[in-house]
Amino acid sequence: NGTFDIALTGTGLLPVEDAETGKAAWLDTSSERVRDQYARRFEDSSRYFKGVFVKSGADTIDIRTHESYVHALLNFFQKRAGQ
């Protein structure tokens, strides 16, 4: 549905791989607990990284997988030019 980066859908077992270790596992997306935990971790990570960027004086742009990055970048630079 394009919002997979924010929330998991309850579609059943999903093969996943740890990007750092390469270890493979199965994620049970039909579990409400697993979906809630995924959403919480996503929000926590987003909040943390946004805070780090703000503290360092850097701007951030939220671009979702179902959105056009072109429009997001154009809006960002137009807002920035208006400041």
pLDDT of residue 62: 84
What confidence tier does 3 reach under pLDDT thresholds 50, 70, 90? Answer: low
Contact assessment for residue 60 and residue 80, using Cβ atoms and an 8 Å cutoff: no
Query: pLDDT digit string (tens) for 7-65?
Result: 888 889 999 999 999 999 999 999 999 999 999 998 999 999 999 999 999 988 888 88
User: What is the pTM for the complete model shown?
Assistant: 0.70
* pLDDT of 1 above 80: no
What count of other Cβ atoms lies within 10 Å of the Cβ of residue 48?
10
pLDDT of residue 2: 45
- Residue at token pair 């750092």: 20
Contact assessment for residue 62 and residue 53, using Cβ atoms and an 8 Å cutoff: no
Contact assessment for residue 16 and residue 29, using Cβ atoms and an 8 Å cutoff: no
pLDDT of residue 17: 95
pLDDT of residue 5: 67
